Amino acid sequence: MTARLVLSHDELRAAKPDGARSAVVMTMGALHEGHAQLIREARAAVGAQGCVMVTDFVNPTQFGAGEDFDRYPRTLEADVVVCTDAGADLVYAPGVGEVYGTAAPATAITVDPGPLGDLLEGAARPGHFRGMLTVVAKLMHLTAPDVALFGEKDYQQLVLITEMVKQLNFPTIVLPVETVREPDGLAMSSRNRFLTSDERALATEVPRALAVTIEVARHSGHEAAIEAGRAVLAASPGIDVDYLTITGTGLGPVEAGEARALIAVRVGATRLIDNMACIVGAA
């Protein structure tokens, strides 16, 4: 059965079955296999009798000045096909007015991400996480899910959403889903389509640098690991590194044991992020 496209909260509320356990996958459209895996995991989480919703909304408040809001791909018709094939019941594609109403930006109430929102992506993209958390909070209220699934590729986003749900007492369980990768290791992303063929080949150095980083971290500590990963990237002209770092699993200071290696680079005009779990040994 084709996933039903709904454009308003009233339509969504009428279409959502009463009493059914529900899950939401929040997206900005331009769906790919990574999103499809999230939808399949959502179906598994709520079962055959549950309701799987996918939000399809390009959120203007999480794009900074000079970023790619206007050229971000809008592929709603194709997205509905992806949702149908992956097992979604409803595709909720609201307009900006429905999500944000008529409040002027200067007076709008938003969600403050706190200190974690100033790190890494927050430092590179001021205001990004305020916009992201605000729209996630709004969409959680509008969809009222029992479970919400988010990919680990946007790891800082996942950590912040998990903390928001916990600290603000949302009645929703956040489930992380492992990053889906291309056969050559590149993390799937809607922005990959902006890469030229040469840039696409070059981008495979990103997961390779992460793999080297986590291998060295296990035996030689995090500082040597970061140096080794940066050496991989330095050997590939055309990759502009924003950061390559290792943090604790909650983005705090790194200690021996479980940690996270995170990277952000620009290849041509396209910004790519990725991360991998790692174990940090003694230096």
7 near 94, Cβ under 8 Å? Answer: yes
* Secondary structure (H, E, C), the chain: CCCEEECCHHHHHHHCCCCCCEEEEEECCCCCHHHHHHHHHHHHHHCCCCEEEEEECCCHHHCCCCCCCCCCCCCHHHHHHHHHHHCCCEEECCCHHHHHCCCCHHHCCCCCCCHHHHCCHHHHCCCHHHHHHHHHHHHHHHHCCCEEEEECCCHHHHHHHHHHHHHCCCCCEEEEECCCECCCCCECCHHHHHCCHHHHHHCCHHHHHHHHHHHHHHHHCHHHHHHHHHHHHHCCCCEEEEEEEEEECCCCCCCCEEEEEEEEEEECCEEEEEEEEEEECCC
The catalytic residue among 9, 32, 35, 219 is: 35
Question: Is 35 noted as a catalytic residue in this protein?
Answer: yes
Q: What is the CA radius of gyration of the chain?
A: 19
Between CA 214 and CA 221 the distance in angstroms is 9
Q: Which residues are the active-site residues? A: 35
